[in-house]
Amino acid sequence: MTNQDEIPKMQWVSRLSYLMDKQFKFPGTNFRFGLDPLLNLIPIAGDMTGLLISGGLLMAMVRRGASNKVVILMTLNILLDATIGAIPIVGQIFDFFFKANSRNIKLMREHYLENKHQGSGKGVIIWAIIIIVILLASLIYGLWNLGAWLIDKF
């Protein structure tokens, strides 16, 4: 089976991704959004629903033989969407602009049609860990300074 044969069998994944990320359009603009940011307005249940749907789409692509690297990239998109999407107010706004499912469909097409994103993905994991460590260190540093400032004020 060629890579060209894979995509038609995954048409439902593209349709579900479109529903989650681009189904609706703000009148008078080209800005599109889907059910994902609307579901995110429902605390916890909306976030979990979006995460489960994205996870299901990822599992479908894994079953179709996506490389480890593309699976890691897709997982990072989903985790970023779920993590920031869970932050009140900021997460709702973020969900309108960061379309994890659409990004994952793009990765899927690049993988199957253009043979991109091949390999183990170890480099992606290493970079993700480095970025997470830097972000956590920055957060701890910022909280430490905030605590010191609060102690000085009171």
pLDDT score, position 7: 56
The verdict on 30 and 77 lying in the same domain is: yes
The verdict on 17 and 82 lying in the same domain is: yes
The verdict on 22 and 64 lying in the same domain is: yes
Cβ pair 116, 74 in contact under 8 A? no
In the predicted model, what is the mean pLDDT of the chain? 83
pLDDT score, position 2: 41
- Number of structural domains the chain divides into: 2
Average pLDDT rounded to a whole number, residues 118-132:
74
Phi-psi sector, 38: left (phi>0), alpha (psi -120 to 50), beta = alpha
The verdict on 77 and 140 lying in the same domain is: no
The verdict on 114 and 148 lying in the same domain is: no
The verdict on 108 and 125 lying in the same domain is: no
Q: How confident is the model at residue 5 (pLDDT cuts 50, 70, 90)?
A: very low
Instruction: Please tell me the distance from the alpha carbon of residue 87 to that of residue 90, in angstroms, as a whole number.
Output: 6
Where is average pLDDT lowest: 18-32, 68-82, 115-129?
A: 115-129
Instruction: Please tell me the distance from the alpha carbon of residue 147 to that of residue 65, in angstroms, as a whole number.
Output: 49
Query: What are the DSSP calls for 71-125, one per residue?
Result: HHHHHHHHHHHHHHHTSTTHHHHHHHH--HHHHHHHHHHHHHHH--S-S--HHHH
41-45, 80-84, 108-112 — most confident range: 80-84
The verdict on 115 and 125 lying in the same domain is: no
Query: What are the DSSP calls for 124-140, one per residue?
Result: HHHHHHHHHHHHHHHHH
Average pLDDT rounded to a whole number, residues 49-61:
86
Average pLDDT rounded to a whole number, residues 57-83:
85
Any idea how long the chain is? 154
Give, in order, the Cα–Cα distances in Å from 33 to each of 54, 60, 84, 98. Answer: 15, 23, 17, 10
Note if the pTM is more than 0.75: no
Residues of the domain holding 137? 121-154
